Amino acid sequence: MSDGKHYALEAFFGAALGDTASYTPHARHLGMRVVEMGPGFGVCVLPYRDELIGDPARRVVFGGAITTLLDHTSGLAVACALEVLRPIATIDLRVDYLRAAAPGVDLYARSECYHVTHAVAFVRAWAYERERDDPFASCLATFMLGANYSENPFEALITPDEPEGQ
């Protein structure tokens, strides 16, 4: 990259290839897809589906699904900011809903990991329908690095499967 830094997920930067969101079961269940990845940022989409409606009268998506979209995209930005993949866990996630999301359309989130320390990563994100400059929600989040020793879902992207019997 132009800043001279090596990123663990660098080979996947650019428009998403394949289904990189499928490595996180909850994101896969909601139908999220990664749209783009880059140094310290990620863009994901949550396709509109009737089962995600939280307000039947207005047909808008449930706020919990939007929070999940922002959380997942923020975690992706952290993974894209790391030189070596480490397990991460959300410490704090604050979502400000600026207005209701438009009904019947896919929802997007873009996140930027703007600072990484030895133990914590800091992210800002926003959710929008059509134009990034017209968000319906914004988010600030912090993530613990090396949070646990469980398998990192992004690890499957860069580690080939071991042949059986090894």
User: pLDDT digits over 120-159, tens only?
Assistant: 999 999 999 999 999 999 999 999 998 766 665 666 666 6
User: pLDDT digits over 37-78, tens only?
Assistant: 999 999 999 999 999 998 889 888 999 999 999 999 999 999
CATH number 3.30.565.10 given to 10-149: no
Q: What is the pTM of this model?
A: 0.85
Q: What is the spatial distance between Cα 27 and Cα 68, in angstroms, rounded to a whole number?
A: 8
Q: What is the spatial distance between Cα 82 and Cα 80, in angstroms, rounded to a whole number?
A: 6
Number of C-beta neighbours around residue 79 at 10 A: 27
> Distances in Å between the alpha carbon of 139 and those of 2, 45, 115, 159?
28, 16, 15, 31
Nearest to 9 by CA among 113, 105, 134: 113
User: pLDDT digits over 17-45, tens only?
Assistant: 666 666 788 888 899 999 999 999 999 99
